Structure 1
Amino acid sequence: LQNILYNPQRKTLSPERIVETVARYYGVPLDQIKGKARDKQVVLPRQIAMYLMREETEAPLLRIGEALGGRDHSTVLHGCEKIEREMAENDDFRRDVGALREMLYTDS
């Protein structure tokens, strides 16, 4: 855990890499993550991507929204807050997001 939290040789993540990794993890096509789909199978991974981009990059909300098909900054903020609430209430979900975060730094 400490290596993930502080590691000077840690990979630099781009918003695009995060979106691609989340899409692959959940088996959702990239065009759906970036598209207009609003069904739960697409929305949840999209919101997780928003959350991870906000936490793991220095990208502003506007840039995160652009990486996800041109979404508004308020949509990104809402998505991040929803994931934070779910992580606070659901241990399994928090572990899934943690595993996904680790994948971002270990996958080549």
Structure 2
Amino acid sequence: MKRSLTPREVITTVASYFDISIEDVLGKSREKKLAFPRQIIMFLLREELKLSYPNIGDELGGRDHTTAMHAHTKIATNIDNDLKLKQDLEMIKQRLYANSV
């Protein structure tokens, strides 16, 4: 049985996976090396924690809910065609649930 995750656990695990700081993830930079992990966080917060888009935006430094919607759609659309993305998501989920026992 999966234990309930917190948004902070998702943010911390993804930041660690991509070797970036939590401050960078929550910051305003739109660099690809930060934006992509942020999109993965938004996707996981929606898929795994079932957070609303406004709540996802709030968890990530007060971003607009439409940013969270766009991120979720982008990852969901690309997951079937991007093997690296699919592998990254699986590895991150393994870490999340391994840490949450």
Q: TM exceeds 0.5? A: yes
The reply to whether residue 74 of structure 1 matches residue 60 of structure 2 is no
TM-score normalised by structure 2 residue count: 0.93
1:89 alignment partner, SS class: coil
Match of 1:58 among 50, 58, 77: 50
The reply to whether residue 85 of structure 1 matches residue 99 of structure 2 is no
Q: Give 1:101's aligned residue.
A: 93
TM-score normalised by structure 1 residue count: 0.87
Q: Determine the C-alpha separation between the residues in 2 that align with 1:57 and 1:64.
A: 10
Runs of 4+ in 1 over 6 A off after TM superposition: none
- Aligned-pair identity (%): 35
The reply to whether residue 44 of structure 1 matches residue 39 of structure 2 is no
Aligned-pair CA distance for 1:58: 2.5
1:70 alignment partner, SS class: coil
Deviations 1:78-106 (A, max 9, x none): 00111112212112220111111121100
Q: Give 1:29's aligned residue.
A: 21
* Residue ranges of structure 1 left out of the alignment (5+ in a row): 1-6
* Residue ranges of structure 2 left out of the alignment (5+ in a row): none
- Aligned-pair RMSD on alpha carbons? 1.0
Larger RCO (alpha carbons 8 Å, 6+ apart): 2
Q: Determine the C-alpha separation between the residues in 2 that align with 1:19 and 1:32.
A: 11
1:1-40 equivalence runs, <5 A: 7=1, 10-40=2-32
Q: Determine the C-alpha separation between the residues in 2 that align with 1:103 and 1:31.
A: 20
